[in-house]
Amino acid sequence: MRRLIPFSAGLLLAVLVFGGALFVMTQDREPEAEQVVKSQHLEFSLEPIAELALEEYNYSGVVVHTNENHRLFNLLSIPLTGNRFLFYYQGAAKAGVKDASQINVERLDDEQKFVVDVPEVEVLSSQIDASSVEIYDQSNNPIRQHNIQDVMTALAGEEAKASDKAIAAGLLIEAQKQLDELLTVQVQSVVENSEWDDYEVEIQRDGEPVAEESGADSAQAKS
């Protein structure tokens, strides 16, 4: 029994010391710092715009962005010098008229028609919604970590690709149709029940009629 007393006392002492050390460690440990984001506007300006958006192309995609390992003398791949991440995104490309003040309407009484001169439509914007970006997989490399520039470069590249895909899918064609139809109906509604009620509406681009059937479409719209 005399041999057990020192052993028990030693065990109790060890438990007390360990518990005390653990308590001190947890008390001295600083709480996780709260993220604080501060921003300051350095410059701003107000400018008038006359954009007329007519058609929208919605898109989404998944990007795997990889920075390869650095190579020594373009031969030897150095481990842990590359990184990789994967993210999902959603965005939209819009097409229309950048400056609606370029749209001109002329009344030709001799020919009994209104001539509407319209500019070519263009892609106004292709933008990824930042709130839709979700990162699913990223490498944890202590030597070459990800930076905001990698993400911004990848997003900009996807926006440019989406703009080209939108054009290939017919975004500009549909936007031009929307513009022609919108202006035709607008002019007709303005002159309705007036002395120019029976005038034809002709859409022109670069001084040339858009198509032979424009007049027929206009007449059908009026009837």
pLDDT 10s digits, 186-221: 999 999 989 999 999 999 987 678 764 444 444 344
Q: Model confidence at 3, in pLDDT bands (50, 70, 90)?
A: very low
Predicted local confidence at residue 143, as pLDDT: 46
Q: Please indicate, yes or no, if residue 156 is contained in any of the structural domains.
A: yes
Q: How many domains does the chain have?
A: 1
Q: Please indicate, yes or no, if residue 3 is contained in any of the structural domains.
A: no
CA distances from 36 to 39, 65, 93, 117, 130 (A): 10, 28, 33, 53, 19
Q: Model confidence at 86, in pLDDT bands (50, 70, 90)?
A: confident
More confident residue, 19 or 132: 132
Q: Please indicate, yes or no, if residue 132 is contained in any of the structural domains.
A: yes
Q: Please indicate, yes or no, if residue 36 is contained in any of the structural domains.
A: no
CA 65 to chain centroid, in Å, comes to 17
Q: Please indicate, yes or no, if residue 19 is contained in any of the structural domains.
A: no
Domain range holding 176?
52-222
pLDDT at 175 over 90: yes
Sign of the CA dihedral 115, 119, 123, 125? Answer: negative
pLDDT at 39 over 80: no
More confident residue, 167 or 20: 167
Which of 12-21, 35-44, 56-65, 188-197 has the lowest average pLDDT? 12-21
pLDDT at 28 over 70: no
Report the DSSP pairing between strands 200-205 and 113-117.
parallel
Contact between 126 and 162 under an 8 Å Cβ cutoff? The reply is yes
Closest CA to 56 of 156, 131, 123, 128: 123
pLDDT at 60 over 80: yes
pTM (2 d.p.): 0.65
Q: Please indicate, yes or no, if residue 152 is contained in any of the structural domains.
A: yes
Question: What is the overall mean pLDDT for the chain?
Answer: 76
Q: Please indicate, yes or no, if residue 31 is contained in any of the structural domains.
A: no
Q: Please indicate, yes or no, if residue 43 is contained in any of the structural domains.
A: no
Predicted local confidence at residue 71, as pLDDT: 61
